């Protein structure tokens, strides 16, 4: 059974399998613009680029960070 994590502009902790820190997953974007994913080791830390999810597309995210957020709208992380 597939699992789903919805990521928006508020940081989400990647703490539980299959979305734990260091795990790989696929990010899916159903919007009309690309969305940047950023990650950090702490919720209030400095966020750096993780991946850009293309318009109406998907991309593999390798080694999920501890905290992740999107530049806009919602990105769906599936495993």
Per-residue model confidence as pLDDT tens digits over 31-51: 999 999 999 999 999 999 999
Q: Is the pTM of this model over 0.75?
A: yes
Q: In the chain, pLDDT over 90 holds for what percent of residues?
A: 85
2 has a pLDDT exceeding 90: no
Give the separation between CA 56 and CA 67, rounded to whole angstroms: 24
Entry field: residues in the chain: 79
The DSSP call for residue 54 is: P
15 has a pLDDT exceeding 80: yes
The DSSP call for residue 71 is: S
Quote the distance between the C-alpha of residue 41 and its chain's center: 14
């Amino acid at each position: 059974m597939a699992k789903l994590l919805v990521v928006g502009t508020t940081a989400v902790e990647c703490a539980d399998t299959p979305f734990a820190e260091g795990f790989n997953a696929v990010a899916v974007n159903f919007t009309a613009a690309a969305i940047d994913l950023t990650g950090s080791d702490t919720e209030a830390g400095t966020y750096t680029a993780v991946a850009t999810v293309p318009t109406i597309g998907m991309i593999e995210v390798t080694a999920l960070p501890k905290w992740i957020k999107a530049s806009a709208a919602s990105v769906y992380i599936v495993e």
